[in-house]
Amino acid sequence: MNNKKSIGFIGLGIMGKPMAKNILKAGYKLAVFNRTKSKMAELTAAGAYSCKNYKEVADKAEIIITMLPNSPEVKEVINRLLLHLKSGTIIIDMSSIAPLVSREIAVRLQEKSVEFLDAPVSGGEPGAVAGTLAIMVGGEEAVFKTCLPVLQCVGKNVVHMGPVGSGGFTKLVNQIIVALNIAAVGEAFSLAQKAGLDVQRVYEAIRGGLAGSRVLDAKAPLIFSRRFQPGFKLKLHRKDLNNALQTSGDLHVELPSTIAVQKMIDSLCENGKAELDHSAIVQYFEQLSQVEIKAG
């Protein structure tokens, strides 16, 4: 007998579709909804139920996961779901949005006796496909424990951070560190390339020391081979840093390095790079130094 809770999944983009696939593979009954209907076809063929509207998702699911671009989209979807949600339903928003918006949403859902977790992820498309995402969760601990088996279908490192909003705050910390790391890689390897060094050998020389990082290991091979197809789009990292800067203003925290990198990302996005992988931050430094970071 299958005692697993029924799951609804809304938002089948680069990250959402493989996450939903992993939930389905784990044996959960899955109902999916996406505005672009064609994105549901692959999951339907694998055994998911394709919903025609938000009401169907609410009717069929005990736990509903949302994976959407930003705060406005999440608020819109929650507004539509609110008309149909049953008492006792749990909403898990795995999008990367402003944490203070997550708290607003939680209050509204609580009025209908609906529980809420904010659970943004890190790991990009490769992590979503492999089911190895890092997941940072905010919400009631009892609700977290109820949802943990589902979250473990899509993530390898699932950590309860505290009350609602804590997941979002943690994701902002993550995104600041990742963006600044990529910027450091771009700045440093522009120097290496201009100095006539073999950038692949520089990478091999430094990766085991203090300069080594997961970011360096994940992004350097892509940069050196000039592969900027999106695993995580630059425009989405731009959105995340906008949320970080908005939140820093609310909390009266100074983020000068984040402001500097955000200006670089703004410039790249305004010059046609928005759809590239966020490793394209390095192209800002390449343009400044008139160099291309490339192996060989």
Helices and strands (H, E) in the chain, number of each type: 13, 9
Token pair 């990529």 is found at: 182
Amino acid making up residue 231: G
Buried b (16+ CB within 10 A) or exposed e, 86-104: eeebbbbbbbbbbbbbbbb
* 35-43 long-range Cβ contacts below 8 angstroms, 24+ apart: 36/12, 39/12, 39/13, 40/12, 42/17, 43/12, 43/17
Strands 121-122 and 133-138: antiparallel
107, 137 Cβ separation under 8 angstroms: no
Neighbours of 13 (CB within 10 A): 18
Residues annotated as part of the active site? 171
